[in-house]
Amino acid sequence: MTLILAMLLDAWAGEPRWLWSRLPHPAVLMGRLIGWADARFNQGAARRIKGLAVMTVLGLGALALGAALASLGTVVEVIVAAILIAQRSLVEHVQAVAEGLRHGLPEGRRAVAMIVSRDTGAMDESAVARAAIESAAENMSDGVVAPLFWFAVAGLPGLLLYKITNTADSMIGYRTPRHEAFGWAAARFDDLLNLLPARGTAALIALTQGGLRDWRGIVADARLHRSPNAGWPEAAMARALGIALSGPRAYDGQMQAFPFVNAAGRKPLLAQDITGAVRVLWAVWAAVFCLAVVLAFL
């Protein structure tokens, strides 16, 4: 029942600006802590060992904090879980890109720059829409399904462990000269925690969109992706909408020749394709909610 209430609270309230404009969001606090650890320990020799030690301490701390919060009762559990589930905010950020594009390409670029790390300055309308849809698919797994999964498995300790790991991966889990060694543990642990949720998200997208018959194609496309997990929801979303995702894009001024996912799908994309992706997000949310209700009453 706690999971059901948390999902409803998040879907209704999202991330109210009046609150988080006055207080630091827990994800912001996690980011500050990881940033401090990066500045303090990511130097000198044995950086991989240092990164592993940092992730071990962060993980144990998250488990302990989760257990302490859970001991305060159901109301606290529901509120904390709702804060760390990102369905409403994900939908709002993705839909903002569609609304921006309808007001013009510069507005669409500004909106999509809020949710992706790739270069956006030279994007055309199709590239903006593609980036938004890819972010929607990946973050449905990372920001909604995976947190719910680990909350269902291990309560608030599991949820906080997942969130600190996922935040660390987003900050230091890159194969760059600075972070390849120090962020190795964060990236590998994040891959492990997302292994089942990413595939589950893909299955839910396919199931709710009548695309289970395309499962073999989804599996094949997922293996083309540079990420062992992100490719699954992206591949399922691409086939659900009949479009091509991933493909070439620029990071820090360098064009990366990534392969397309569902390469036979339609490549010119529009704002309405983003709106279609938002409908898929809510369909997956509804499927997870129904599953939670069934499990609660078994």
What pLDDT, in 10s, does the model give residues 4-24? Answer: 999 999 999 988 888 888 889
**Mean pLDDT for the stretch of residues 130-147:** 96
**Mean pLDDT for the stretch of residues 266-273:** 95
Q: Supply the pLDDT for residue 117.
A: 81
- Looking at the structure of the chain, the number of domains it has is 1
What is the torsional sign of CA 167, 163, 17, 112? positive
Specify the pTM. Answer: 0.94
CA distance 100 to 28: 26
Going by C-alpha positions, the residue among 267, 276, 281 that lies closest to residue 127 is 267
**Mean pLDDT for the stretch of residues 181-203:** 97
What's the whole-number average pLDDT of the chain? 94
Q: Supply the pLDDT for residue 175.
A: 86
Which range of residues forms the domain containing residue 252?
Answer: 2-297
What pLDDT, in 10s, does the model give residues 46-70? 999 999 999 999 999 999 999 999 9
Kindly state the DSSP code that residue 104 receives in the 8-state scheme: -
